[in-house]
Amino acid sequence: MSLWVDKYRPTSLGKLDFHKEQAAQLKNLVQCGDFPHLLVYGPSGAGKKTRIMCLLRELYGAGVEKLRIEHQTIVAPSKKKIEINTIASNYHLEVNPSDAGNQDRVVIQELIKTVAQSQQIQSSTQREFKVVLLTEVDRLTKDAQHALRRTMEKYMSTCRLILCSTSTSKVIGPIRSRCLAIRVALPSTEEVCSVLTSVCKKEGLLLPPELAKQISEKSGCNLRKALLMCEACRVQQYPFSADQDVPETDWEVYVRETANAIVSQQSPQRLLEVRARLYELLTHCIPPDIIMKGLVTELLNNCDGQLKAEVAHMAAFYEHRLQLGNKAIYHLEAFVAKFMAMYKKFMEDGLDGMMF
Amino acid sequence: MNRLSVGDKSAPSRLNRWVDPSFTDFPTESFSVPARKKGGQILNSKCEAKRSRKRKGDSCSDSLKSSLLKESTHRDQDEPWVDRYTPHSQAELAVHKKKIEEVENWLNVHTQSSQGGILLLTGPSGCGKTATVQVLCQERGLRVQEWTNPTNTDHYSNSQQDWRMMDFSSTSQLAQFQDFLLRANKYNCLRMMSDGGGSDRKLILVEDFPNQFYRQPGSLHDILRRFVKTSRCPLVFIVSDSLSGDSSSRLLFPREIQEELNLCSISFNPVAPTAMMKVLSRISAIEAGKSGGRRGVSDPAVLETLCSGSSGDIRSAINSLQFSSLTDSSLEQSLWKVKKDKAGTSVGKAASRTNRRKKSKQKEPEEEQAIGGKDASLFLFRALGKILHCKRESSEGSEPAKPEPVLPSHLSHHHRGSLQDDPELVVERSHMSGEFFNLYLHQNYLDFFSQLEDVERASEYLSDADLLTSDWTSRSTMGGYGSSVATRGLLHSNSQQVSVGFRPLHKPHWLQVHKKHRENSMAAQSLFRSFCLSPVSLQTHLLPYLAKLTNPMRNQAQIAFIQDVGQMSLKRGLTRLSLEALTDKELAQVESEEEEEKQEGGDQGAGDEALSASQPKPMSSQVEEEEVIIEEYNSD
């Protein structure tokens, strides 16, 4: 039994549930016979990968769905071995080069070269190019992105690239200009609701519209999350009730509790406890920037209007440091300390104002 | 073939005799010169020069006498004072009485019974480990049998005729060591004529380990296991600690082995300044007496600087004392010469001479520091304490004679007293990279702050410091600045230092957390590869929800992983992580913190067991506090 997310994933451009005109455009693009490099971007859970896989199916037919997971070893010029996992069919190769850390340049060059150098055998019946799908392009180092730009031009005849990222801001200009950019926006609440209802119908379940709405709002229109939530609801209680609690992930609850702890008391001792909680989150594989984001959203709920701007500013400042710096805990803790100090001062000022 | 170095002490001293020390050629030369002069004068003997010749002859014999005397003193000077003043009784030892007692007790227990035991003495170099053993053995008439690593160069030199012997003699050091232990344990020494009775009891001393043991400590352990079974006499190992991290005692004698072999371990502290002063002043007094007044008793101030410069290493202190007195005496001699040559010169010269002497006196402390100075080093515990406790010069003690530059009024809240220690120096002496030191500071600084505003500033400085060292290409240059910013930032931002008293310090938790984070991420990706998700959405969405779903997993590893990582304990009480306390003499475990962004796959094998012990346990409801209180480090 696979997850609903995987089970009911649309497999052709025609079956996509939302952004239908974009799907039609992509269909036209394929029918032209050739297509340029693509840069697909949009927030996570909007269906980028689904859309790409549909596109590939449109290009090559059902053969694309025969996937195999390969474990490749690439030897860098410095004789260092890099191991990386790829997902491939006969027609395409999917790889997440940022897995290789800062050796990603080598990975990109080597992989694309090997793919591009092997010609399709029967070019009369098939497309004369293969597709390399690179995910998380925004996490690539600048080095790798520049290497990518050269590689893109060199192997244009035998190979097309589809780049997939959450935002274009970290993709360098030359690459952006060489690709056709396709933005996949998040679905609207109604669209999420309709997807949820249709999935539940296929499962033979009855989903009350109130619950569907609640789920879609809680998931922030992230369809993957919404479907997972829905499935968790199913496990939690069936038949569904309209005012059912939608289960959240443990770490989200944990972050909220941490935020509450920060707001309820501001002292060095409390900071020490918060640090322990941050460590706990980190050991549970939650990336530091996500922790930061979660904390800020929770903290902002507790803030007054004036304070909000300041807190957001500090959060942006330390989030930037998180990206630049090396050890996340310094910056997370500095942010928490900063917030504590600001909040404490704000509360004391407020008390003074009340007294006089 | 078997290198039993019995009565080891006498051999090298005899060797010394054979080798002509380079300094002793001086007296023979001074002897020959006057002789030739004499001869020449005899040849040119004329009656009118009789008077003058007689005078000259007299002076010659004088110089001869003095040169002979000089020779004897030079002989003396060749012998290092460390050897000449080896302690012969417990009273002369500069080691703390309790330590001596400990060793003594052990010796008493293990020499009375016929069953031997193993003792391990550790401590920094020059703290009197060997001397203690020697003295105690001497006192109770034990014969010390010491292992020295054989040098097998002589086999190569006379290779031709006894090549057949070669295969016999070129056994490995390891085998020779084993052989040595066996024989030393089993057989008594041959009783020579001169030997007094009662020397049948003995003690085996190993200071010099065959190199192989450092590579494969297991081989040593095997030998020792065999030894313990049959041992009849006590075996003493002496291992010097080094501050630079690789503690060979921990490598050679890990804790399991110590327990298994019932090995008693006594660790020595550096020699206390008071004890060292006593020894140094005694030596300098004896030397002054020997030199017949030509050499004065060294200035206590000089001794003091020697003491502090040696950082508890008495051997180096005595050596530098000898060295300093050497230069002293030569200076004096040259001064004497000046006086003799220019006898009857004006008073002005004499005045200039005293000036010179004064000058040399003034310069002395720094010179001595340059001569005998050992790199002072701090144990991590103390280095951290120096930064965190933030000791400042007391303001009332200093005279307001020289007005310090005062900050303008709007900045006056930034005013702080001057620091007692230079933070950069402290970091340097801790033998750690600045980054690593910052981690230690970060782990511990919150305990020392009382004001939240101070904490806010301190944490900002730490964040700044991390930013400075983030880029690995420039890290080597920026590291110093980073640690400067962190230490000085912490010191300055702690505006209301309360005397917190003793606080336990802990090892940084970040390293483990970071490692765990990376391992878990890798594991997640390899275990759940079939979902084809990017790491972020995998870790933040899929795994936590998988924990809530009743989806049948494919294998056991996945189930275990989800239970471990996907779920978090949501108990109300804030869980405290169990921390690893930092013991006072802990050396920096330089777990080479590899460039995270450079090599993802490199793993540190060392920290594994420590990790599992101190990991947060998500399932247990209350992790009990495992904070070991460390007793204060006593320096004597």
Residue A243 lies in a domain: no
- pLDDT band of residue B632 (cuts 50, 70, 90) is very low
Q: What is the pLDDT of residue B26?
A: 45
**Which structure tokens are listed for B392?**
């400042």
Asked if A196 and A179 sit in the same domain, the reply is no
Domain containing residue A206 = 189-236
Name which residue leads in pLDDT, B358 or A288. Answer: A288
Would you say residue A272 has pLDDT above 70? yes
CB contact under 8 A, A338 and B549: no
Q: What is the pLDDT of residue B242?
A: 66
Q: What is the pLDDT of residue A99?
A: 79
| Chain A interface includes B166 (CB < 8 A) | no
CB contact under 8 A, B469 and A286: no
CB contact under 8 A, A231 and B520: no
List, for residues B93-118, the tens digit of each pLDDT value: 888 888 888 888 888 888 776 667 88
Residue B581 CA to residue B586 CA, distance in Å, equals: 10
Residue A46 CA to residue A187 CA, distance in Å, equals: 7
- pLDDT band of residue A120 (cuts 50, 70, 90) is low
Residue A245 lies in a domain: no
Would you say residue B346 has pLDDT above 50? no
Asked if A156 and A203 sit in the same domain, the reply is no
List, for residues B303-333, the tens digit of each pLDDT value: 887 777 777 788 888 888 887 776 554 544 5
- pLDDT band of residue B460 (cuts 50, 70, 90) is very high
Residue A284 lies in a domain: yes
Residue A241 lies in a domain: no
Q: Phi and psi for B498 in degrees, rounded to 5? A: -100, 145
ipTM for the whole complex: 0.84
Would you say residue B283 has pLDDT above 80? yes
Q: What is the pLDDT of residue B54?
A: 44
List, for residues B615-627, the tens digit of each pLDDT value: 333 333 333 333 4
List, for residues B38-86, the tens digit of each pLDDT value: 444 444 444 444 444 444 444 444 554 554 455 455 555 567 888 888 8
Element (H, E) at A135: strand A130-135
Residue A257 lies in a domain: yes
Residue A356 lies in a domain: no
Q: What is the pLDDT of residue B174?
A: 78
Ranked by mean pLDDT, the top range of A116-130, A293-307, B553-567 is A293-307
Residue B609 makes CB contacts below 8 A (sequence gap 6+) with none
| Chain A interface includes B15 (CB < 8 A) | no
Asked if A168 and A50 sit in the same domain, the reply is yes
Residue B611 makes CB contacts below 8 A (sequence gap 6+) with B512, B515, B516
Would you say residue B32 has pLDDT above 70? no
CB contact under 8 A, B460 and A334: yes
B508 min Cα distance to partner chain A (Å): 11
Contacts of residue A344 in chain B, CB cutoff 8 Å?
452
- pLDDT band of residue A4 (cuts 50, 70, 90) is confident
Residue A132 CA to residue A162 CA, distance in Å, equals: 6
Q: What is the mean pLDDT of residues A211-227?
A: 89
Lowest mean pLDDT among B51-60, B256-265, B285-294: B51-60
Q: What is the pLDDT of residue B243?
A: 56
Would you say residue B613 has pLDDT above 50? no
Q: What is the mean pLDDT of residues B343-349?
A: 44
Q: Say which DSSP state A243 is in.
A: T
Mean pLDDT of chain B: 67
What percentage of chain B carries pLDDT values higher than 70?
Answer: 57
In 3D space, the residue among B531, B528, B541, B537 whose CA is nearest the CA of residue A7 turns out to be B531
Q: What is the pLDDT of residue A316?
A: 94
Return the CATH number of the domain spanning residue range B96-152+164-267. 3.40.50.300
Q: What is the mean pLDDT of residues A269-295?
A: 90
Asked if A217 and A274 sit in the same domain, the reply is no
**Which structure tokens are listed for B203?**
């003690």
Domain count, chain A: 3
Element (H, E) at A85: strand A81-88
Lowest mean pLDDT among A163-167, B123-127, B148-152, B600-604: B600-604
**Structural domain spans, chain B:** 1-79, 96-152+164-267, 271-372
Asked if A48 and A100 sit in the same domain, the reply is yes
List, for residues A307-346, the tens digit of each pLDDT value: 899 999 999 999 999 988 888 999 999 999 999 999 999 8
Which of A285, A320, A329, A331 is the mutation pick for testing B, counting most B CBs within 10 A?
A285
In 3D space, the residue among B268, B547, B280, B234 whose CA is nearest the CA of residue A3 turns out to be B547
User: Which of A49, A250, A327 comes nearest B544 by C-beta?
Assistant: A250
- pLDDT band of residue A123 (cuts 50, 70, 90) is low
Longest dimension (CA), chain A: 87
Q: What is the mean pLDDT of residues B547-570?
A: 72
Q: What is the mean pLDDT of residues A205-231?
A: 88
In 3D space, the residue among A67, A4, A31 whose CA is nearest the CA of residue A195 turns out to be A4
Q: What is the mean pLDDT of residues A261-274?
A: 90
Residue A355 lies in a domain: no
Nearest-by-CA chain B residue for A2: B551
User: Which of A271, A276, A286 comes nearest B577 by C-beta?
Assistant: A276
Q: What is the pLDDT of residue B171?
A: 64
Asked if A123 and A24 sit in the same domain, the reply is yes
What percentage of chain B carries pLDDT values higher than 90?
Answer: 1
Burial class (CB in 10 A: 0-12, 13-18, 19+), A129: buried
Q: What is the pLDDT of residue B327?
A: 54
Assess contact for A152 and A129: CB atoms under 8 A: no
CB contact under 8 A, A271 and B455: yes
CB contact under 8 A, A235 and B549: yes
List, for residues B181-232, the tens digit of each pLDDT value: 888 777 765 555 444 444 567 788 888 888 778 788 888 888 888 888 777 7
Residue A140 lies in a domain: yes
Name which residue leads in pLDDT, B610 or B406. Answer: B406
What percentage of chain A carries pLDDT values higher than 70?
Answer: 97
Name which residue leads in pLDDT, B613 or A69. Answer: A69
The CATH number that applies at residue A155 is 3.40.50.300
Residue A270 CA to residue A291 CA, distance in Å, equals: 18
List, for residues B161-176, the tens digit of each pLDDT value: 544 544 445 567 778 8
Asked if A153 and A298 sit in the same domain, the reply is no
Asked if A307 and A178 sit in the same domain, the reply is no
Ranked by mean pLDDT, the top range of A33-37, A218-222, B242-246, B624-628 is A218-222
List, for residues B477-514, the tens digit of each pLDDT value: 888 888 899 999 988 888 776 666 777 788 888 888 88
Which of B448, B452, B461, B512 is the mutation pick for testing A, counting most A CBs within 10 A?
B452
* Interface list for B 510-569 with A (CB within 8 A): 510, 513-514, 516-517, 520-521, 524-526, 529-532, 534-537, 539-545, 547-552, 565-568
List, for residues B462-481, the tens digit of each pLDDT value: 999 998 888 778 888 888 88
Q: What is the pLDDT of residue B618?
A: 33
Q: What is the pLDDT of residue B313?
A: 82
Q: What is the mean pLDDT of residues A277-293?
A: 90
List, for residues B388-430, the tens digit of each pLDDT value: 887 777 655 444 445 567 778 888 778 777 777 788 888 887 7
Would you say residue B579 has pLDDT above 70? no
A228 min Cα distance to partner chain B (Å): 6
Asked if A38 and A90 sit in the same domain, the reply is yes
Q: What is the pLDDT of residue A340?
A: 93
Q: What is the pLDDT of residue B78?
A: 67
Give 3-state DSSP helix, strand, coil % of chain B, rounded to 5.
55, 5, 40
Asked if A68 and A82 sit in the same domain, the reply is yes
| Chain B interface includes A275 (CB < 8 A) | yes
B5 min Cα distance to partner chain A (Å): 50
B369-374: long-range pairs with CB below 8 Å, 24+: B369/B305, B369/B309, B371/B320, B371/B323, B371/B324, B371/B327, B372/B306, B372/B309, B372/B310, B372/B316, B372/B317, B372/B319, B372/B320, B372/B321, B372/B323, B372/B324, B373/B309, B373/B310, B373/B320, B374/B309, B374/B310, B374/B311, B374/B313, B374/B316
Name which residue leads in pLDDT, B55 or A253. Answer: A253
Would you say residue B373 has pLDDT above 70? no
